[in-house]
Structure 1
């Protein structure tokens, strides 16, 4: 099979690590939501998640100041909301109100859970050493919530430039991990 050169600007779509999430923050009495797909698992227990939040994003200042957030995992049913939240700024829009999202109180952080998402991960920032250089935050998941009624969540995975893939069939393969 002959392979051809691939543009470096599109590599992200090949390595996309996981589902698109809605990151919620609360700062100075204002809750906000941003769409985020640049995250990666770093450790199992306690669960550590690395993520990039652009310094241009309204959520960056809230996350930097409060060191708290919630990673809310939507399913494909929220695709219009995911894209809408990603294409608007919290500086000028109340995304909870404008996109019909329901803020729910978290147990351990001030940022709200998004009730419509099938899973919610309450997080605190535990490492900011790469924040100034790369806008990279390391989050520790403090509490996880999941909707038991959602048996096979079909999550969105960003492939770049408006293209998304929907998680599909689950297969089981031999594993020594428990």
Structure 2
């Protein structure tokens, strides 16, 4: 019987080292990480961090409002689609139902106070644009205004409302996007990171100051 170990013909010294090269110090593969002891909790939303966007809405009479939404994200690339989830008792809910439109305004470090305010103050009580000294800008395709101080405004038209429980999810198609020229370089590339975008996690707001890597960097040749 042949007791020799099989030889991997396509394996070389270079090949054995390639995996190590792909993961620089501090960014190793999961294989080298310690197994962590876990506790089982009751079911809950533990997907964090999440965006904290300021959503502008309007009714058929022309009244508008800003609501901060953290349950939001992308659902499709082509056609470009997003979603927001809103409680039916919120003041903005009837506006979403009436016009079927909204604008998703991305938030930044400078907009942290306004973002929080629009999430805890009701539009029944105050004009948030006036109170926060925010600028209304006219959209290209929808009735709700853009927030002039936001670096990115995403105009959306609702295609479906899905009652889920505590929240109703509004699926919407993106019909126009506006980006600030301040963060565009000479080649026309947009650098949102320079605007210090903000996210929400477990009741706290965080900015994103450090780029850890770009998409695909873990397998990119060095």
TM-score range, shorter chain: 0.7 to 0.9
Aligned position for 2:210? 169
Deviation at residue 45 of structure 1 after TM alignment: 1.8
Normalised by the length of structure 2, the TM-score is 0.71
Contact 1:17/1:39 (8 A) holds in 2: no
Q: Establish whether residue 159 from structure 1 lines up as the match of residue 201 from structure 2.
A: yes
2:71 counterpart of 1:29: no
Matches within 5 A, 1:2-151: 2-5=36-39, 7-8=41-42, 11-12=44-45, 14-16=46-48, 18-27=50-59, 28-128=61-161, 130-131=162-163, 133=165, 134-150=167-183, 151=191
Q: How many residues align?
A: 172
Cα distance in structure 1, aligned partners of 2:153 and 2:137 = 10
CA distance in 1, matches of 2:75, 2:140: 23
Cα shift at 1:8: 4.2
Q: Return 5+ residue gaps in structure 1 as ranges.
A: none
Greater strand fraction, Structure 1 or Structure 2: 1
Q: CA deviation at 1:138?
A: 0.1
Give the Cα–Cα distance (whole angstroms) in 2 for the partners of residues 2 and 119 of structure 1: 39
Runs of 4+ in 1 over 4 A off after TM superposition: 6-9
2:142 aligned counterpart, secondary structure:
coil
5+ residue gaps in structure 2? Answer: 1-34, 184-190
Contact 1:20–1:155 under 8 Å retained in 2: no
Rg bigger for which structure? 2
CA distance in structure 1 between the aligned counterparts of 2:163 and 2:92, rounded to whole angstroms = 13
Q: Secondary structure at the match of 2:181?
A: coil
**Cα deviations by residue, 1:18-63 (Å, 9 ceiling, x for unpaired):** 4211000111221100011101211012211122011111111100
